[in-house]
Chain A
Amino acid sequence: MSARIAIVLFPGSNCELDVARSIEHLGATAEIVFHTETDLHGADAVVIPGGFAHGDYLRTGAIARFSPVMEAVAAHARAGGPVVGICNGFQILTEAGLLPGALQKNADLRFLCDTVEVRVVSTRSVLTGSAERDALLRIPINHFEGNYTCDPATLERLQAHDRVVLRYVENPNGSLDDIAGICNEAGNVVGLMPHPERASEAILGSADGVVLLRSLLDAATRGVRLPG
């Protein structure tokens, strides 16, 4: 049976159709779930796509975390179900407390729209389970607030518990420890700034995001978390 992936749509999200297309291209079922809904329609995994949820007012992700659907997302995460936040989705997951730290403005105050190289640092997350450690992936980034930060104790925990999932080869935004993506302790909640859905077919310039999306679909099909 193919995996069913819920994609949360907030007012201001703008990558939901790209994510849906890339997931369906890999043979899974994608379903857009509006932010006012209170359940995920029984999906196996949930993706929070990029964009500007609620206009990014106050802070990126600050308002989105109070949308009704976020309780269902948190419950899914607690149950070990795969949850992936891409770009604005990553910002929302940190604001919601599902991932530690915060995304601050890029170090040089520039909006970045580029294809960058990232290294797979950990394969224990639902997004990298099928990838090779140290694999280099070319994936687009597209953000103004992608500069990951956290307190020293949190960074130490992330490093010690193999929770840094992706690192930039050349840090584009000032992100602490070159972090491009992290996961929670169990590995089932992942946030990343690069957009794997925009590197999902050769015609887009790179298909390197497929291994990440495929990992997510594999994890979704398996049901719950990866072994820690």
Chain B
Amino acid sequence: MEVSQENNKKIKLQASNIDVFYSHFKALKNINLSMYENSVTAFIGPSGCGKSTFLRLFNRMNDYVDGFSMNGDILIDGKNIYDNKLIIEDLRKEIGMVFQKPNPFPKSIFDNIAYGLKIQGIKDKAFIEERVITSLKQVALFDEVKDDLNKSALALSGGQQQRVCIARTLAVEPSVILMDEPTSALDPIATAKIEELVYDLKENYTIVMVTHNMQQASRVSDYTAFFYMGEMIEVGKTKNIFTKPEHERTENYITGRFG
């Protein structure tokens, strides 16, 4: 089922007829989903339903998993990201990822955020500094750390570390940000800050998020897709999914009657 085209938003990512196998296990079964520019799409579903596998297809993180194979196409701005000629580094610059646990490098705050730019070969110090500061401001961290940019990122709190990781992603100017349970290791205040940030970021980015937190999906996403045992059971506008889901399985899951 497709999200209807009632809005004028452009399709940023499009997955068509996706099957994923880990050796003989079929982890995803014929998934079709469009994700729109400047909107947040949340994937929900019980553990093992395939939602993280699906998310990781978008920056080809499954490529290195033993036994991984897939059918179907994933397009970003109409271009196939599984094209043989595609350079994975270029794709990862376009599609950034934020993980469940904050994973800053054991480097200074500044170097963490400048890392992506440096490995791209950018040497212009003024440009790098400008990108670092802009990225820190985007994640609302600049005022908190501006005097400590040379301190280790590992000395920051969990919530701050996660925002450093998001800033690190933003520094290379992607157009899509994938988030895999970005707040599950954070306290409610840090979580609220990340959620606010997601809300602000969608003005300029397309965000796709996996979350186990139902309220988070309902608070921050525009569209929600429910996965169950490798299938996408239902996708729709978040407000419809959380008030009037079409499928009983979706309703049972979001109301906590699963099992």
Partners in one complex: no
> Hey, which bits of chain B sit against chain A, CB under 8 A?
none
> Hey, which bits of chain A sit against chain B, CB under 8 A?
none
